[in-house]
Homo-oligomer: A and B are copies of this chain.
Amino acid sequence: MKSVGVGILGLGVVGEGVVRILQKHHDNFQRDQEIDLDLVAVSSRRDVQARALGLLDIYSSDLAHVVDNPDVDVVVELLGGTDTAYQCISQALLNGKSVVTANKALIATRGRELMRLAAENGTELAFEASVGGGIPIIGPLRHTLASNRILSVMGIVNGTTNYMLGRMLEDRLDYDSALAEAQALGYAEADPTADVEGFDAAAKIAILAMIAFNTDIHLDQVATEGISNISPTDMKSAEEAGYVLKLLAVARRQAEGIDIRVHPAMIAKTHPLASVNGVHNAIYVVGDAVGETMFYGRGAGQGPAASSVVGDLIELARHITYRETITQPVWDTEALPLISDNDLMSTFYLRLPVPDRPGTLAASATIFAELGISIASMVQHAATDQQAELIFFTHAAPVAAVNTALDRLNASGILTGKPSCIRTVTD
């Protein structure tokens, strides 16, 4: 069979994993998948990894060595960043090459543009590794679940924050200690902003929504709130009420359009997402025919990411080897309006720090009543230092009303500290 030339841009952790799989399983892929993946060019800033992997003879620090190489049929982009990666991918597509990338930041901002460029040039762009590490999710959404109108996608898609929240629950660590531990273990970066403020999760839910709803979504359209305000008290309240605190990425199709957001949420312990622990990820998809499905696995790391990259590579290589005409829908067929967070309904957990004196419960309950917010349950923890905490779980209420209630509570002078306001999820 005709071999398929593979070129890799970037030989970091994932690039090394891809090379190792290609070396280890080349003959299996030839026998089982009937394709011959031939690694013909690699490029990275320095030659140290190419040397370690025995690839010096196909190495160049010049990215054009891969992008413009006539022997390369598929380019694997693992550079990270968006500017150079964009230039390389678009040039490769213009050159008629197929492209596999793990670059979530790029796909979440310019994915549609690149998919259109691929279609115009009769080639393909694949990005399974951009969401959920080794978990097959883009493939199932595009293929098996294409028979459904997808109603919602909810995910725990950031392992760093999920690990931290787990540690805060198990050992009652506070946020700073959990972050320090995650950094010490290499799960969190020195600058943890992208993880803890929810930007990483926002890029992933933007990509998932783009595929699930056949529409264009940009990272900037995702309403994002991180976990840095989560307190041990909130963790404890969640546990007592039968919930687990998670950083949740959500995209839902509604009659008026879609809503898409990332924020901490209390998830009922009976929900399949509640038992996704540690650095694992899971994506929960509801379709109009299939009902609820969930996809679970390791969301990061060399093996999982390389598994998804090479999975894409195998599929593109089969197309190149066996198909005369390549056609990949751009899957951008619905222009769905975004629903503002303020137009949504949700159930909430609200924790109000108040002085331990008569009238605070009545004052806050009155504000809720005036705004039509119905309370499902309420707890007042025993006071310490003349401080009490009122904990409310609400029935479904307009997000705008809850925000107004918080504004009024803050203005009322009855709060002695910052209140917590976290959505709850039961189904």
Contact = CB atoms under 8 A, between A and B. Distances in A.
Interface of A: 17, 21, 25, 28-29, 31-34, 128, 134-136, 139-140, 143-149, 214, 272, 275, 287-298, 301, 303-304, 306-315, 318, 322-325, 327, 329, 331, 333-334
B272 A314 contact: no
Contacts of A308: 144, 147, 290
Contacts of A309: 147
- Residue in A147, A303, A325, A334 with the greatest tally of chain B CB atoms within 10 Å: A147
A212 to B, nearest CB: 11
A147 B314 contact: yes
Contact of A134 (B21, B29, B289, B331): B289
A289 B310 CA distance: 10
Tell me how many chains of this kind the complex includes: 2
Contacts of A25: 147, 149
- Residue in A287, A289, A290 with the greatest tally of chain B CB atoms within 10 Å: A289
Given A146-B314, A291-B298, 4 more contacts: A32-B331, A143-B311, A289-B310, A290-B298
Contacts of A293: 134-136, 295-298
22 contacts: A17-B289, A28-B149, A31-B333, A136-B140, A136-B143, A136-B293, A139-B140, A140-B140, A143-B143, A144-B308, A147-B306, A147-B307, A147-B309, A147-B310, A275-B275, A289-B307, A291-B304, A294-B295, A295-B296, A318-B327, A323-B324, A324-B325
A34 B328 CA distance: 9
A272 B295 CA distance: 11
B307 A33 contact: no
A102 B301 CA distance: 36
Given A25-B147, A296-B272, A307-B145, A32 B333 contact: yes
Nearest to A137: B144
Contact of A144 (B139, B327, B334): B139
A290 B304 contact: yes
Contacts of A323: 323-325
A246 to B, nearest CB: 15
- Residue in A128, A143, A287, A294 with the greatest tally of chain B CB atoms within 10 Å: A143
A292 B296 CA distance: 8
A371 to B, nearest CB: 37
A290 B140 contact: no
Nearest to A327: B322
A289 B275 contact: no
Contacts of A301: 291
B329 A303 contact: no
